[in-house]
Amino acid sequence: MSEIRHKVFISYHHEDQDEVEDFIETFDYERNVFISRAWHRGRYYQQH
């Protein structure tokens, strides 16, 4: 059976960008827990 990964929308302040990128790296790319989507400075980013 394949893993189910949900898309997760992340909204953050630019001062937190380093922490958010670390979080996404860990839980999206390394652990495959979710598929990240992010909103930053009025722009929508799809991480893959």
H helices of 1-48, in order, are 17-24
The per-residue pLDDT for 22 is 92
CB–CB of 37/45 below 8 Å?
A: yes
Separation between Cα atoms, residue 13 and residue 1, nearest integer Å: 37
Instruction: Show me where the domains of the chain are located.
Output: 6-41
Q: How far apart are the first and last CA of the chain?
A: 23
pLDDT in tens, 1-48: 568 999 999 888 889 989 998 999 999 999 999 999 876 655 555 655
pTM for this prediction: 0.72
